[in-house]
Amino acid sequence: MKRRCTGFTLIEVLIVVVIMAVLAATIIPQFTRSTTDAKESAVSFNTHSLRAQIELYRIDHNGLYPTLTDGTLKELITQTDYQGNAGTEYGPYIVGEFPKNPFNNSNTVVAGTGAGVVGGGAGWQYNAATGEIWPNHAEYFAE
């Protein structure tokens, strides 16, 4: 009696490997683009939210913008009085922690003019004179 060997031939295994490589080559870039799209959407939403809250602060505080202190805009995440000092009359304008920039995962804020990326890994640039805020990453300034 002859024993029959069962299993995959080398050709069958190679065909499966080639099919898997082709699928991987087409699917992985799509996932990468989806991640970038999600980050762009999140940074856009966070930027618009921050700008709206800074404007609301300015309206409540007689035209004054929040001040940049220790890498954050503390007046937006705490309660303040009319002059912007710690108090209970206004705010907080942002509940929880200051939003992170999803491109560098940082929520720190640096003084800037919006002319380009400021070094140091900060998530946001803020101009205290105008109340403008920008994401601090190259993709934003490349647009």
What's the Rg (C-alpha) of the chain? Answer: 26
Q: How many helices (H) and strands (E) does the chain have?
A: 3, 3
d(C-alpha 93, C-alpha 99), whole Å: 12
pLDDT of residue 143: 63
Count of other CB atoms within 10 angstroms of residue 112: 19
What DSSP line would sit under 110-128, residue for residue?
Answer: EE--SSSPPSS--SEEEET
Which parts of the chain register pLDDT below 70?
A: 1-3, 143
Residues 101-121: tens digit of each pLDDT: 999 999 999 998 877 888 888
